[in-house]
Every structure is written in structure tokens, then in C-alpha cells.
Amino acid sequence: MTTPEHERARSPLDRLWAGWRTAYMDEVTADGNAGLSAEQGSVFTRILRAIDAGDLTDEAAYLIHRGDHAFAILNAYPYGTGHLLVMPYREVGALEELTGEESADVWRLVNESVHAIKAAYRPEGVNVGFNLGRAAGAGVPTHVHGHVLPRWDADSNFMTTIAEARVLPEPLSVTWEKLRAAWPT
């Protein structure tokens, strides 16, 4: 016999979700949305193409740093202030598809991202991670990318826990300026 939903004990994990990301994910992965299709590449490929065409600047796209084979860009929907994404220019869906040069450049930029985040924000910790494949939580599974974000002991505060909201104390443009200035090159 199963326990009815209303009688089951609640745990904090019962309500952990980021439902607000659905609209973003639908936008960047839907065929034909805004005239963009999967054949035109991931959202990241389209951003790079717009920059290369002169339709978008690094600042407007929040592109932080360009390496030889990879780049670092702010997450447009961050989990917290300073949330960076690091990925190869070439759109591939798996780490094992990276060339040796791409892999080395991605890892170098992850390392430099950690240095920049620590210099700009003085966090108490840093998360670095890759979600590989849709089942692993990859929002854009066709373009492998790593997440680098600062963490503080208090960043799981009542706003996140009770109100299911994130408080970002600065706009992305300010975050972009801080991380560009702190980049270790």
C-alpha cells in the first residue's frame, strides 16, 4: 500500500527545481524558433557566428575570453553571480570528441576562470562541472561546456530555500567587466 502524497513526509529535495529555465531551454533547442534551427547550431555557435559577422560584440554577448580553441562566456541564466561557461569553438556533444588542442584549451580556460572568479569575487569555494548529455542535465547537449561558478557558505539562503528565487546583486554587464578585468593574462 502506498502512502498518499499529502501524508508523505517532505524533504528539502522535494521542491528543488529550476522551472524558470524551461522557457530558455525551449527557445535555444526548438527547431524553427525565431528562424533558428538545429542545423544552424547551438545557441553558443549562433552567438559566435553573430560576433564574427559583426552583429554582436563580445560585451553584448558577455564573452569573457577567447583562447585558441575555446572560449569563456557568462551564463545568461546564472545560478549565481560570476557563473561562467567554458567550451570549445567547435560544436561537439562529448568530451571524447575534442581534439587534444581543444581539450587542453578548455581545461586552461577552466583554470583561468577559477583564477578570475577568485580575484573578482573572493568566494569561499568554486564549483567546476560538466553535464554530459541530456540525461546528465546538459541544457545544450550538442555543445559540450563546463560550468565554473563562485560559491559562498550563505548562497543557499532563505530566498533560494523558501522563496525559490535567486538574488543576483549585479547585472551581467557588471559581472562581465569584473571578470574581464580579473582575467589572468
Q: What is the pLDDT of residues 28-81, one digit of tens each?
A: 445 433 334 456 889 999 999 999 999 999 999 999 999 999 999 999 888 888
101: cell is: 588542442
Q: Which of 69, 83, 143, 145 is catalytic?
A: 145
Is there a contact between 20 and 13 (Cβ–Cβ < 8 Å)?
A: no
Euclidean distance between CA atoms 8 and 172, whole angstroms: 41
145 is catalytic: yes
Residue 9 or residue 61, greater confidence: 61
Q: Quick one: pLDDT at residue 166?
A: 58
pTM for this predicted structure: 0.76
Euclidean distance between CA atoms 155 and 169, whole angstroms: 12
Parallel, antiparallel, or unpaired for β 125-130 and 70-74? Answer: unpaired
Question: All domains of the chain, ordered by start, with CATH?
Answer: 36-182 (3.30.428.10)
